[in-house]
Amino acid sequence: MKLGLLPVLPLLGCLSAWGWFDYGVNVKRESAEFGKPFAGISLKLETRHSQAELNSPEPLTVTLKNENPRSALLPESLPRDERVYALYVVCATAGGLSYFTPNLVKDSDNPVTGDRLAPNGETVVVDTTLDRLPVVRVESVDFAAADFPGLNSMPTRELVPQVYVLKAILLSRLPGKKPDFVAASNSCAVLLLPERGEHMSPEERQTRAAKYLAKLEEGAYGGIAVSSQLAALGETAVPQLIATADRKGEGHVRESRVWAIATLCRTGSPKAAEYVLERLKHPVDLGDVAFLAWHSQGCSSPAIEAQVLALVSSILKSERLPWQDAFPEVDTGTKSAFLEFAFKHFNQTGQTLPVELVGNCITWPDQKPAAFGIELWKPGDAETAVRLLAPVFGQPNRHPNLKRVVLLKLETACAAQGFPKMGPADDLEAAWQRAGRWLTEKGYLSE
């Protein structure tokens, strides 16, 4: 019997769009609780920490709660001869990948198959560490087969560093039949991090750096996994990463250059931060500036933050950019791409848009980055908010995103003055018209 992933995915629940390449990722979770019971049986999966290095012995337990007076898993109403039992831990990503462990109750010496469950109590059925669990990547599941034949398993330390949602699935069936008992645990999110370079010997750091740099030189091959592992090595890989980031060219050369930039920003290296600061002012290629605007937040450098803001200011005020030393003609598309990712960068780092740039942002010809910029601004008072934002109502063809952001800013700043609130289900155009009438009635707009 072939069961695709579709019947399994509902057991995994909804995944947030987390990833190692996102900045400021923190896994926040409540105390673990048992999943929905099936025939009086429920499961709870826990790890000790919400984040752990891939190679670390992070404790993982699966606890079974039995709300029945019996010590056996199955009720007497289900036939028990020649039963097949299986318990899997599933590791799922926001991108839709699923990794399964082998059957963790395959042997007979365990409480599930040995009828040793605590009656009306709790029993730990899995007590291990993440680094001891091999996994296989699966696209379809054949529960009639044992331990995913034909698929090569790998240790969890070889997974791509990112957030995974873990869930335990316990099932039982008769040979050749669909499972007639299925219980799933709670979802448990854990951020798996690459092993830090300081935990390795100098020789191991050099060996790993050479291995991953060779992958990086091939272009996009390896992607996030290779970049994350290199960044975790700190200073070791920085000289070669800088050399790769300095290379001019298209195709795989450009791909490897962009990955090198992204990696440098996350090494924690002062030398890398100095390099990124210089490249913000003098990029190797104009196509790099949007990547620099976004990934430079990984440096956590006040000097870099100030430089990004200075470039934003120069773009919005139509001032000469340092990029024009090498690229005299910088088109609006390049500037807009930089603005968009700089504003997203600021959103991640909690920065606001200075009030003196709000007017310039509103009149920027590309309304998509303009909306991102206005969203960052925190108006200090109602008068300033109205003075700067009311003119938008007299401009034709405003983008819906810009309208929505303007309405929200006015609603926050002018709540005490009775600005009409827009409900979540309200029509945007109707809310825009109501706001325009309110501004006109208050004398902020002319008829």
Looking at residue 15, its pLDDT comes to 33
Distance CA 27, CA 50 (A): 6
380 C-beta neighbours (distance < 10 Å), count: 10
- The answer to whether residue 362 is domain-embedded is no
Tell me if 52 sits within 8 A of 193, measured CB to CB.
yes
Distance CA 56, CA 232 (A): 14
What pTM did the predictor assign? 0.75
- The answer to whether residue 186 is domain-embedded is yes
Which residues in the chain come in under a pLDDT of 70? 1-26, 108, 142-147, 149-150, 219-222, 447
Give helix 252-264 / helix 202-217 axis angle, nearest 10°. Answer: 140
Distance CA 92, CA 13 (A): 10
- The answer to whether residue 125 is domain-embedded is yes
Half-sphere exposure of 310 (CA within 13 A, CB side): 13
- The answer to whether residue 168 is domain-embedded is yes
For 158-207, the pLDDT digits (tens) are 888 888 999 999 999 888 788 889 999 999 999 888 888 888 888 888 88
Looking at residue 219, its pLDDT comes to 66
- The answer to whether residue 99 is domain-embedded is yes
Q: Where are the alpha helices (DSSP H) in 119-201?
A: none
Distance CA 116, CA 33 (A): 22
Give the C-alpha distances (Å, rounded to integers) separating 402 from 56, 321, 375: 46, 26, 9
**Count: domains in the chain:** 1
* Beta-bridge mates of residue 64: 43, 123
Distance CA 97, CA 4 (A): 13
| ∠ Cα 26 27 33 (to 5°) | 160
Q: What is the 3-state secondary structure (H, E, C) of 343-367?
A: HHHHHHHCCCCCHHHHHHHHCCCCH
Domain of 11 in residue numbering reads as 3-193
- The answer to whether residue 49 is domain-embedded is yes
- The answer to whether residue 262 is domain-embedded is no
- The answer to whether residue 248 is domain-embedded is no
* Beta-bridge mates of residue 61: 46, 127
Looking at residue 12, its pLDDT comes to 39
